[in-house]
Amino acid sequence: MSGFRPAPRPRPVRTLNAAWGALARAGVGRVSLDEASLVAAARRASGLHDFGEDAFREPMRRVLDALDHEARLHPLGRMAMRTTLVRTLVNRLRLQQARDLHAEIRGWPVRAPVFIVGLPRTGTTLLHRLLTCEPTLRPLLSWEALNPAPYPQGPARGARASGERDPRMRPAEFAERALRYLAPEFFAIHPVEAHAPEEDVLIMDLSFLSPTVDASFRVPSYSAWFHASDQRPMYRTLREVIQLLLWQRDGRWLGKTPHHLEQLDALLEVFPDARVIHTHRDPVTVVASFCSMMTHGRRVFSDEVDPTEVGAQLSEKLVRGVGRAMEARDRLDPAAFIDVAYDDLVADPMKQVRRIYDFIGCELTPGTERAMEDWRASNRQGRHGVHRYELSDFGLRRDEIDARFAAYRERFEVRRDR
């Protein structure tokens, strides 16, 4: 039996879900995830019609079918997903409009981008947020991830630099408050803050080849199809969105997501001059922590989350990720990569930062170093609470994880956590 014990939902949420669920079972008020309904809603909300190429349609249909029939969403979860899906389609429409109106976006340079990859929970967020103190590096911000294209009534390109507030910030601030209400314990695991850097994976979702859906929901049919698919179209969409974002505020792209581990070949095919920072940590800790994070995350949308099922799926996902990464690194130019151990990063972050600056060819100025130290002082581990987890909570054993990750541990000389 799992030892996972989540915090109870707020009473108003439980009451709303119970009443709404009863109505839905009676055939009233069930939230639609129908393709035609979502497309029509996106066109109404944006006033736009052209999605560009239709390659996203098959992945979208697979996402919708799996969410509808497999994800066990509670009523509020269905509404949240409908809102997210409509927003994704609106973003596709606005991306297409921006590329049509401003032809220069299609050729906008993405020069020597920096990507942080590594298993989840290996210090990627710490490293990402430290490096965003470097003024020449340009991360994705959470409010941009929700709405990467400018609103029609928003500030002109570059206006943010003059201090004008972008209206896209407001929905991200609302989303942060909503998550704090629904799952305050999640911030002890991974802080989701409207104005903080966020992962590339959120803008990769515009292709509907979605690592987010794969990891965040119980969608076995979609997950099997997704991992067997050619994901280069997702990386081409990523580049298009990065070009749009750099057109709005230029700089050297600083990206981050664990999913890149599974797709290093595609990443470097689409971004051939990329520099890749590969982080490492004891897989026993990584697997337990990631399963905990995603079990908490799934509970935001569903009342029927089986921690043991999550453990089986996500441990397999992480094994596959490091296996594909090792195979890809055997083929790819070693000069494109630098390895950073979690223990070394935590023990002396600035030492690892200096190694990285040498690797990416960037000068670490005294002002930037002070900004990094200030950020560290204001963001001590545990400020949102303590994240507690055990492998056994998810039906997993230490010896089993050790055996499955033995080749990875040996290849990168990964030390055991104390």
Separation in Å, CA 43 to CA 34, 260, 376: 15, 32, 44
Instruction: Express each pLDDT in 143-188 by its tens digit.
Output: 999 999 998 865 555 544 456 789 999 999 998 898 888 877 777 6
The stretch 201-226 carries a mean pLDDT of 94
Tokens 């129908």 belong to which residue? 34
DSSP labels, 95-142 = HHHHHHH-GGGGG----S-EEEEESTTSSHHHHHHHHTTSTTEEEPBH
pLDDT at 159: 44
In a domain, 269, yes or no: yes
DSSP labels, 262-296 = GGHHHHHHHSTT-EEEEEE--HHHHHHHHHHHHHH
pLDDT at 387: 67
pLDDT at 18: 83
pLDDT at 168: 95
In a domain, 211, yes or no: yes
Residue 62, H or E segment: helix 57-69
In a domain, 61, yes or no: no
Does 11 score more than 90 pLDDT? no
In a domain, 357, yes or no: yes
Does 2 score more than 70 pLDDT? no
pLDDT at 155: 58
Give the whole-angstrom CA distance, residue 166 versus residue 163: 9
Instruction: Express each pLDDT in 85-140 by its tens digit.
Output: 999 999 999 999 999 999 999 999 999 999 999 999 899 999 999 999 999 999 99
Tokens 């039996």 belong to which residue? 1
Number of residues in the chain: 418
Instruction: Express each pLDDT in 317-345 by its tens digit.
Output: 999 999 999 999 999 999 999 999 999 99
Instruction: Express each pLDDT in 346-363 by its tens digit.
Output: 999 999 999 999 999 999
pLDDT at 380: 73
In a domain, 67, yes or no: no
Of 76-85, 365-374, 380-389, 393-402, the one with minimum mean pLDDT is 380-389
Which domain, by its residues, includes 338?
A: 110-153+166-411
DSSP bridge partners of 141? 197
Does 382 score more than 60 pLDDT? no
pLDDT at 72: 95
386 or 274: which leads in pLDDT: 274
In a domain, 322, yes or no: yes
* Phi and psi torsions of 74, nearest 5°: -80, 170
In a domain, 57, yes or no: no
223 or 176: which leads in pLDDT: 223
Instruction: Express each pLDDT in 42-86 by its tens digit.
Output: 999 999 999 998 999 999 999 999 999 999 999 999 999 999 999
In a domain, 333, yes or no: yes
Contact assessment for residue 393 and residue 288, using Cβ atoms and an 8 Å cutoff: yes
Does 385 score more than 80 pLDDT? no
What is the β-pairing status of strands 337-341 and 252-256?
unpaired
The stretch 198-205 carries a mean pLDDT of 93
Q: Which two tokens stand for residue 142?
A: 């959470």
Total count of domains within the chain: 1
Instruction: Express each pLDDT in 16-28 by its tens digit.
Output: 888 888 887 877 7
Q: What CATH number does the domain containing 226 carry?
A: 3.40.50.300
Of 111, 394, 400, nearest to 254 (Cα)?
111
Give the whole-angstrom CA distance, residue 86 versus residue 398: 42
Give the whole-angstrom CA distance, residue 406 versus residue 418: 18
Of 394, 378, 375, nearest to 133 (Cα)?
375
pLDDT at 347: 93
Instruction: Express each pLDDT in 235-273 by its tens digit.
Output: 999 999 999 999 999 999 999 999 999 999 999 999 999
